Amino acid sequence: MSSPVTITFGVYQLDLAHEELRRLGTPLRMQPQPFKLLVFLASRAGEIVSREDIEKEIWGEDTFVDFERGLNHCVRQVRAVLGDDATAPRYIETVPRRGYRFIAPAKFVDAADPAAAATAETPDSHPGPAQPEGRRSRLRIAAVGAAAALVAATCMVLSVRYFRQPAQTPSAKRVMLAVLPFDNLTGDPSQGFLCDGVTDETIVHLSQLSPAKLGVIARTSAVNFKNSGKPLDRIGRELGADYFLEGTVKRDGTKVRIAAELVRAQDQSQLWAESYEGEMSGSGMLAFEESVASRISLSLSLMLPESRAPSPGTSNPLAYEAYLRGRYEWNKRNDTSFQKASDYFRQAIAYDPAYAQAYAGLADCYDLTLEYYERQSPETFAALAKSAAETAVKLNPQLSESHASLAFNLWRYQARFSDAEAEFRKALELNPNNATAHHWYGMYLASRGRFDEGKEELRSARMLDPLSLIIVTNAGWVDYFARDYDGAIENYQDALNLDPTFQTALMKLAWAYEQKGMWQQAASARERFYEVAGHPEIAHEVAGSYAAHGYSSVIQLVIAETQKPDAKPFYDDYEIAKLYAFADDFDNAFLFLKRAQSRHSGWLVYLAVEPAFDKLRNDQRYARLISETVSGSAH
């Protein structure tokens, strides 16, 4: 059997044996699809590789996703990892209307013979003696073939290891598991909360088993495939999942039956299955939940040793059911559902005053109510959120969600930045699979001007929750703060490709277009925002105003809308200040920023990095506002 192949170029090494890109020996984080693309291009260094060849080789002939968007995303990710510039490329050159070309000299190295590097160089884009076509083709085929063979071999090894022996060493790459929404077989649509709750609890439980070895896809991404009818191999590729847990819930009066099975995505083979029956009354339901998670844990322990038990929840079934209903409502992300969720979390706490998860959920309700909707007493809401999060941490210091909830509040509403960062780090130490913690920590880092670190956290969040609209959108927001408006626009459009009606992405898209001076596109984004928000009359006015008088008239129109009595909660003082800054009405911009400050607006944490306020930065009033926000004196 031939030795594994490594492709080297510059200071980089593509290790096909471990599916890893290294820079001067240091591994770099890279998702599977971009890695495959880089291997394919580097193996054909110096050649123009058509988009059709890439689609056939990397995605396969039965492409099931938006190939153009997927390819553009992969190329962007590869360039980001390599530090390459599309306008002045050192590694990957875009050939208009044809495809891509890897332009750096590349070498194929036989792992058993490092000296072979001296004789294995491929032709590059610079003048020089060309190698014979036959040898170049053999090298290319060897590289790509080795990659495919190694991936297949890895899956075979995992399969044998799973069934026959425990792993002796940790895997270099985390296995990714997706828990698909459990099917409701109760015959009662109102019991949907129970199925969602079972799914959520299972995700929480599994995500704490062995975070260094097992990554668990977040529910907000997995839920997109509820009743989708798509084959598991396709879902696996879309989510980046190696394994799936599927399940069903049946209920007949107080009797409940849960069935679950573990399936490998690659070949859809069933690796484990079990069913459980018991009573909904008493502690029966909770016992089922623990039993399911325990049996799955036992099955996976053959591959994932040293797993740890999840944080304890509650032994009170009424508290547990109220908590499930609360998270069900909270995930809807609207004003009414936040209020309902708060009521359910309070019920859960009434049933079990020591239920840490319920306190964390209540804190999240208060915090996101402030973020989504401006209130008459934001200081009170912020204090309630902080108290609930602190209680959750006190009740269960090992619960990642508690620390993430407290960190969010300390950052956004208390201006205690170092304390917030410590809590974010604690949350991720306790559970590296907490996508929300990665997401919020990334936004925290961006607000502090640490854009590269922020982007890395958002990349981790997207890996764990690839179809989350808010995570994809806020990956673009970090780009926006870093003045990478093209990257921001691309991420916003990714979110809108997932859901064209996602209002947050539409509004942020308008701001990004404005920074680039793309007025028609900005006007279209604002017009679309009002359409999906249920205000077609305003959308019509935006379109007419832009056509007649240009974009400045659109901003004046929006400013006028903000002054109407029924404008809230669509506009907060911070956003109104941005509108006035765009219109060069600096006095009013400062007036609304001071109003935001007096209301303890959480948006002020972005003051130092917000591009919309660049015109104000030479004004002493702006410097004073930033200083007060950073010092916490405004709070």
Q: How far apart are CA 153 and CA 409, in angstroms?
A: 47
Residue type, 201: E
At 192 the three-state DSSP class reads helix
Phi/psi-derived region of residue 45, left when phi > 0, alpha when psi is between -120 and 50, beta in every other case? beta
Series of mean pLDDT values for 10-residue runs along the chain (635 residues): 69 84 76 86 90 82 57 81 76 86 84 43 34 35 38 31 30 74 80 73 74 79 78 83 85 78 79 67 58 59 46 74 80 78 94 94 86 63 91 94 95 92 95 91 96 94 85 95 95 89 92 96 94 91 94 95 74 91 96 90 92 94 87 48
Q: Are residues 148 and 198 in the same domain?
A: no
In a domain, 227, yes or no: yes
Given 310, 336, 359, the domain boundary residue is 310
Are both 198 and 300 inside the same structural domain?
Answer: yes
The confidence score (pLDDT) of residue 428 equals: 93
Residue 149 sits in the same domain as residue 188: no
Is the same domain home to 82 and 115? yes
In a domain, 263, yes or no: yes
Is 238 in the same domain as 286? yes
Kindly state whether residue 138 falls inside one of the protein's structural domains.
yes
Q: Are 61 and 132 members of one domain? A: yes
Provide the pLDDT for residue 87: 72
* CA-based R_g, the chain, Å: 26
Domain that holds residue 253: 175-310
Q: Please list the residues that pair with 216 across neighbouring strands.
A: 177
Residues 142 and 24 in one domain: yes
Domains in the chain, number: 2
| Residue 450 within any structural domain of the chain | no
Within a domain: 61: yes
Q: Which run of H or E residues covers position 295?
A: helix 284-300
Q: Provide the CATH number for the domain around residue 183.
A: 3.40.50.10610
Both structure tokens of 282: 């008493």
In 3-46, alpha helices (H): 32-42
Domain boundary among 121, 153, 185: 153
The pLDDT assigned to 350 comes to 95
Residues 82 and 130 in one domain: yes
Could you tell me which of 531, 484, 543, 487 has the C-alpha nearest to residue 507? 531
Do residues 17 and 141 share a domain? yes
Specify if 94 maps to a domain.
yes
Q: Which residue bears the tokens 């984004």?
A: 525
Q: What is the pLDDT of residue 166?
A: 30
Is the Cβ–Cβ distance between 240 and 466 less than 8 Å?
Answer: yes
For the entire predicted model, the pTM comes to 0.60
| Residue 209: inside a domain | yes
Q: To 10 degrees, the CA torsion angle through 562, 565, 571, 577?
A: 50
Q: Which residue among 282, 310, 338 closes a domain?
A: 310
In a domain, 338, yes or no: no
Same domain, 62 and 202: no
CA end-to-end span of the chain = 67
Amino acid at residue number 386: K
Sign of the C-alpha dihedral, residues 512, 517, 521, 523? positive
What is the sign, positive or negative, of the torsion defined by CA atoms of 593, 595, 597, 601?
negative
Identify whether residues 148 and 183 lie together within a single domain: no
CATH number at residue 41: 1.10.10.10
Same domain for 205 and 129?
no
